[in-house]
Amino acid sequence: MTNLSLFPLNTVLFPGMQLKLHIFEERYKMMINKCLEEDEPFGVVLIDSGREALGPLAKPHIVGCTARITNVQRLPYDRMNIVTVGQQRFHINSVTQTDPYLIGDVNYFQPEVDNNSLINQYARLLRPLVIKYLDILSNIEEINFEKDQIPHSPQSIAQVASILLQTETETKQSILAIDKLSTLLRRLVEIYNLETLLLNVRISPPDETFNIGPFSSN
Contacts of 82 (CB under 8 A, 6+ apart): 20, 21, 23, 32, 69, 71, 72, 73
Give the C-alpha separation, 119 to 13, whole Å.
Answer: 23
Give the range among 22-36, 113-127, 187-201 with minimum mean pLDDT: 187-201
User: Is 211 contained in some domain?
Assistant: no
Contact by Cβ (8 Å): 161, 126: yes
pLDDT at 203: 66
Domain that holds residue 99: 2-109
Contact by Cβ (8 Å): 19, 7: no
User: Is 13 contained in some domain?
Assistant: yes
Q: Does residue 217 or residue 125 have the better pLDDT?
A: 125
- Residue 148, pLDDT > 90, answer no
Q: Pick the last residue of a domain from 83, 109, 135.
A: 109
Give the C-alpha separation, 6 to 53, whole Å.
Answer: 13
Give the C-alpha separation, 58 to 63, whole Å.
Answer: 14
Give percent above pLDDT 90 in the chain.
Answer: 74
What is the DSSP track for 35-79? HHHHT--EEEEEEEES-SSSSSPPEEPSEEEEEEEEEEEE-GGG-
Question: Is the pTM above the cut of 0.75?
Answer: yes
Contact by Cβ (8 Å): 1, 71: no
On whether both 69 and 166 belong to a single domain, the answer is no
pLDDT confidence band for 22 (50 / 70 / 90)? very high
pLDDT at 202: 66
On whether both 66 and 127 belong to a single domain, the answer is no
Which amino acid is residue 117, in one-letter code? S
The sign one gets for the Cα dihedral 8, 12, 13, 14 is positive
On whether both 20 and 57 belong to a single domain, the answer is yes
Q: Which residues of 161-181 are buried (b: 16+ CB within 10 A; e: fewer)?
A: bbebbeeeeeebbebbbbebb
Q: Pick the last residue of a domain from 109, 127, 160.
A: 109
Q: Does residue 147 or residue 204 have the better pLDDT?
A: 147
On whether both 120 and 76 belong to a single domain, the answer is no
**pLDDT digit string, tens, across residues 76-100:** 999 999 999 999 999 999 999 877 9
User: Residue 162: which CATH number?
Assistant: 1.20.58
Q: Does residue 152 or residue 214 have the better pLDDT?
A: 152
